[in-house]
Amino acid sequence: MFNNQRYLTKGVQVEIPLELQIFMWSCIDGLPEERDYFQVFKLKYLDGIQRITHFSEQPEYRMEYLIPTDNTITAKVYVIDSEEYSTMLLAEEY
């Protein structure tokens, strides 16, 4: 899973800084081989720190990252693997 063409929606392209997009893809790449086709990232502002909570249901997975940055964002991002391609999209675009 997630070893295919990767796409992102216009919402992600406009709202999510490139470095965070790359970071989220690398989080998925670092997962064990058994991966849920539906990955979720919650991005939240926390006093000059970008908090990113990455989770999935099957198998259950949860990891939290804290990244110092001047450009923090609050959003929920889904990454879905359809076996043909993977798409990163904002939750409101689902």
The band of 76, judged by pLDDT with boundaries at 50, 70 and 90, is very high
What is the count of structural domains for the chain?
1
Residue environment code for 54-86, b if the CB has 16+ CB neighbours within 10 A, otherwise e: bebeeeebeeeeeeeeeebeebebbbbbeeeeb
User: What's 58's domain CATH number?
Assistant: 3.10.450.150
> What would the pLDDT profile of 7-63 be if each residue is shown by its tens digit?
999 999 999 999 999 999 999 999 988 999 999 999 998 888 999 999 999 999 999
Domain that holds residue 56: 5-93
